């Protein structure tokens, strides 16, 4: 049985003074993620109102492939730097259309 597509909204909040470093780290995730099985889109946005806030808008063919993405080497590398770069862990919410 085909699993329904899943949409992800992820909010990432940079520590003061770390905005550009976080932006570069997040941009580095885009290329490898777009090549992953199941990734339909992986769009990074930066808030116009608060330059320390970034949001990914993502669509995946299944929750299982999203979970595989969350364990990928590039995501694991970013997770290892969360306490250094971010005020709190990313807020990740899953949605259905």
Q: Across all residues in the chain, what is the average pLDDT?
A: 96
- 40, pLDDT greater than 60: yes
Structural domain contains residue 95: no
Give the C-alpha separation, 59 to 24, whole Å.
22
48-95 pLDDT, tens digit per residue, is: 999 999 999 999 999 999 999 999 999 999 999 999 999 999 999 999
Contact between 10 and 75 under an 8 Å Cβ cutoff? The reply is: no
pLDDT computed for residue 51 by the predictor: 97
Structural domain contains residue 34: yes
Structural domain contains residue 9: no
Phi, psi of 96 (to 5 degrees): -120, 145
CATH number at residue 60: 3.30.70.100
Which are the contacts of 4, defined by CB distance < 8 A and separation ≥ 6? 62, 96
- Show the domain range for 62: 18-86
- 3, pLDDT greater than 90: no
Token pair listed for 11: 């909010």
Give the C-alpha separation, 97 to 89, whole Å.
25
Residue with tokens 């995946």: 60
- How many domains, in total, are found in the chain? 1
Structural domain contains residue 77: yes
- 1, pLDDT greater than 50: no
């Amino acid at each position: 049985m085909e699993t329904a597509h899943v949409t992800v909204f992820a909010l990432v909040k940079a520590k003061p003074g770390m905005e550009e470093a976080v932006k570069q780290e997040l941009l580095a995730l885009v290329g490898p993620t777009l090549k992953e099985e199941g990734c339909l889109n992986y769009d990074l946005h930066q808030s116009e109102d608060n330059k320390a806030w970034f949001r990914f808008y993502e669509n995946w063919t299944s929750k299982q492939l999203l979970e595989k993405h969350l364990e990928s080497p590039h995501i694991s590398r970013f997770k290892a730097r969360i306490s250094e770069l971010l005020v709190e862990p990313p807020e990740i919410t899953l949605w259905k259309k």
